[in-house]
Structure 1
Amino acid sequence: MQGKFISRRSFLQGIPVTAVGLPYILDAKTGQSGASDKGPILSNDFFAIYLHKETGRFSVHRTDGSILIPDCAAMAVSSDREVRPDMIEFRHRAEVSKISDALGEGKRLIIYSSAKNSPWAFTRSITLYKRYPGIFLDMSLINKSNVPVNIESLFVVTPAGNDTASLLWSGTSKVLTNGPMYYDPGTLYPFSAPDESTIQSWWNAGFFSGYKKEALVCGALENLKAQGKIHVRRLPGDAISLSLQSYLA
């Protein structure tokens, strides 16, 4: 896939932006509606979060009824295994609380996932602020055993299975990447048709659908202990394979 350079300011200036702040990862295949319980567990003027209490997976809907992030789980990768909190042995507990910090007032959903015979315990948070059209996700992992575990990557969102999507963004025609260092401005790639090639970005990436339409920005808001990598691939329809990886190098 060939890319061409363009000014980042020219690309994003004047475009309404929906931000998805993901300190770790997202991945996608193709579109489906996603699993959820009857009503949203968390919402603001922009988004509604639906939680599937049996699996711990969640989906994000926009207030116009469209789906942004369908049926997504999480994952941790060690040197010898992959562990997901939606595995059948895990049980989940959720709580919602009001918050007030430097970004303003909002609500936070915390999902606790653990298994009786597993040393892995996941804590994931989803925060919605009243005045921000953004979704703020975070995840931590605890090793409950006395045996050291070599964690290589954390994924705050990953697809629930084959042929499912974890990001749907209508009419995406270009993707803007970011380079690994300050002197690398990144590349603007064509992104309107399905392609087997995977594009890599560092820390954040932007998705463009037209100068009079919203742009979507996904990336790490803060990651002081790992490298933030983003992998994107265009799938059929509006589905995008998007992985935001926190790689503990």
Structure 2
Amino acid sequence: MIDFYYWITPNGHKVTLFLEESGIPYNIKPINISKGEQFGPDFLRIAPNNRIPAIVDTLPADGGEPISIFESGAILLYLADKTKKFIPQDLRGRNECLKWLFWQMGGLGPMAGQNHHFVQYAPEQIPYAIDRYVKETSRLYGVLNKHLSDGRDYICGDYSIADMAAYPWVVPHERQRQDLTQFPALAQWLARIQNRPATKRSYELAKTINVAPTVDEKAKSILFGQDAKTVS
């Protein structure tokens, strides 16, 4: 059984995609990050970076004590190895999948996240910052579009954790000021994943957790006002 600490963010969606695709039993434990629940001491023992998502595997493969994992990429890799699903089992295929997983974790996610911040949430519009992150998001879309342009259905051929990692960060493309008509292979890939039954279940689940997400001024102070004192 997987205890899943979740909120309706792109990184949270990554894990629901895997859980719904794999059929592994799990319990949702919502962590409302707009209310600061990520700073609770019980959650920090699981996720010392005070970020969702996180999981606790109560039945790890070694039969020992429960294992806690934080960071969405680490969670996807752990679950893929646990279930032997959605990651190639051969050396070359596995490493191809890991390259694209790390590409999302180190590139697409952080850059699109900064795009969201400066375009949607910053208290003042800073043209340089907006231009910087909108362009870098576009470049990364271009990288993935080129990779998908050889006719493959998914990033590594078969559907994998690389797709699950990237997909939720492309869903809000309009908020990122990206025009998918400029990325036809990427647009087809997005639609292909969107139409998977497990994807539909994942995003319907999100609606039951928080129907009308809002980021008011209090939430902004919680989400964007952290420094070292937050975790000390």
Q: By percentage of residues, which structure has more helix? A: 2
Q: By percentage of residues, which structure has more strand? A: 1
TM-score (norm 2): 0.26
TM-score (norm 1): 0.24
